[in-house]
A and B are shown apart, each in its own frame.
Chain A
Amino acid sequence: MLNIKCPYCGDRAQKEFAYGGDGTVKRPELNKEVSNKEWDDFVYMRKSLRGKHIELWHHISGCRQWFRAQRDTATHEIFKTAKISEEI
């Protein structure tokens, strides 16, 4: 089982968390013309990197906060977790 460090609660078991996908995807700006390509990239296109991957997690059975984690997708090692407002 993964051991994930919630930035608010500390180390907790993976079972308390829900995955949120690629954490580098940014929604196109509001109130601006969005091209089809920009929207496709946001909704569908993913790099799915092998190695260090920045991703969203949700401490759904804990404090219910979203946060970002940097994890190796080949070894499952988690290097760092950070609040959404912080740099990772």
Chain B
Amino acid sequence: MQKYSIFSLIKNAFSNHQNWDLAWKDPTPKKEYDVVIIGGGGHGLATAYYLAKEHKITNVAIIEKGWIGGGNIGRNTTIIRSNFMFDENAAFNEFGMNLWRNMSQELNFNVMFSPRGIINLAHSDAQMNTYARRGNSMRLNGIDAVLLNREEVKKMIPMADFSDDVRYPIFGGLVQPSAGTARHDAVAWGYARQADSMGVDIIQNCEVTGFDVSAGKINGVRTSRGDIKTKKIGLCVAGSTNILAEKLNMTLPIEAHVLQACVSEPVKPILDGVVTFGAGHFYISQSDKGEMVMGGDLDGYNSYAQKGNLPTIQHVLTGGVALFPFLSRLKMLRTWGGIMDMSMDGSPIIDKTHIDGLYLNCGWCYGGFKSVPSSGWTFAHTIAQNRVHELNSGYSLSRFSNGYLIDEKGLGTKTWIS
């Protein structure tokens, strides 16, 4: 594989950049693989990469219905954080933070990880207490957290509405300084390029049509490009989880919902970190191009359409304008939607299943992007060793029946309001 560097850039400039190697191949599916990963998104690509790198399993195929990076890895708002209260979530996501910090070097691909901090704003005394508690939990788990009062928040985001007559005045906020953003497409491409170089077959435009299961064991997968034999299948298909589960006669504690995001026209730098509104569901950051990147609530009904409706955008941006009045004068450039695999407690599932050789990775709700490296790493371990790693032992499928839910927000099983 060609290494990307300033020297290779200069060298290729002499041939007008016509002679770069392809970043990954376009192979024809083989008859048999050791492991087949279904879903060529961030999680699937990262899983294949760590299978090859950490476990030396390179006879691996990634099967993707569309093109890699066309799903939620290219549709999220690129936020990376580990500001969780519960031990399971804290350990898992902080492990991921360490992978993020070295990702550009490790993948030889600039993912533009930029730890610019995240502020969760509080708008009442009660909310300040809750954030103090969460911040303390984070620090006990070795994650940086700083509780700010109103004046300290004002220094960080002076353009927010600090006037006295607002409906939800800013009382303070909880900051994780090491949180940040990254360029999401680069994450998919970086993992794809490295996985491919180690021998993983990335097979695009290949839809799974069925599974070959006998006597409770996986024997293979049927696809639109022929049958493929394998003993191990890793399912990382996010919003399509229920569709494939149905082909396996499985019912899961997952519902598919559409989540929208939007960006404004690009403007000069005004916001350096990520800010979340505590009195509604709204979060915002500014991309390197200058666009304000914003998101908020689900549309609120089961959906497989990768597009949403206007009332939700209007509702989300109402919160945005309440927080940052300057937003009202910006034009929106684009809105889009992605299908979330909403789990019943808001936490993911990375586990084995009752079918021997079938491994499940789903339930990412709003938080799939930041978990790409930690999910890939632990899922690769689970598949390779046929047992869960300590880091994902809490994310079991059985927790719903035995009562060990990881309900970070305690919102119950109405996935569409979480």
In the bound complex, CA of A71 to CA of B300 (Å)? 14
In the bound complex, CA of A73 to CA of B344 (Å)? 19
Q: Which of B253, B254, B304, B309 contacts A2 (CB 8 A)?
A: B309
Kindly state whether residue B242 has any CB partner on chain A within 8 Å. Answer: yes
In the bound complex, CA of A60 to CA of B120 (Å)? 31
Stretch of A26-34, A42-50, A79-87 lying at the B interface: A42-50
Flag if B311 contacts A48 (CB, 8 Å): no
Binding site for B on A (CB under 8 A): 1-2, 14-15, 18-19, 21-22, 36-37, 40-41, 43-50, 53, 55, 71, 73-76
Flag if B256 contacts A48 (CB, 8 Å): yes
Flag if B256 contacts A50 (CB, 8 Å): yes
Flag if A73 contacts B304 (CB, 8 Å): yes
Supplied contacts A18-B300, A21-B255, A44-B413, 18 more A-B pairs, CB within 8 Å: A2-B309, A14-B311, A19-B300, A19-B301, A19-B416, A21-B302, A21-B415, A36-B401, A40-B401, A43-B344, A43-B413, A44-B344, A44-B400, A46-B255, A47-B251, A48-B254, A53-B302, A71-B301
In the bound complex, CA of A35 to CA of B304 (Å)? 32
Q: Is the interface of A mostly helix, strand, loop or mixed?
A: mixed
Flag if B416 contacts A21 (CB, 8 Å): yes
Most buried by A among B252, B302, B415: B302
Flag if B256 contacts A73 (CB, 8 Å): yes
A residues less than 8 Å from B301 (CB atoms): 19, 55, 71
Query: Which residues of chain B from 306 to 351 have any CB-CB distance to chain A below 8 Å in the complex?
Result: 309-311, 344
If the complex has contacts A19-B300, A43-B413, A50-B304, are A1 and B252 also in contact, measured as CB distance less than 8 A? no
How many Å from the CB of B160 to the closest CB on chain A? Answer: 28
B residues less than 8 Å from A46 (CB atoms): 242, 251-255
In the bound complex, CA of A10 to CA of B303 (Å)? 23
A residues less than 8 Å from B300 (CB atoms): 18-19
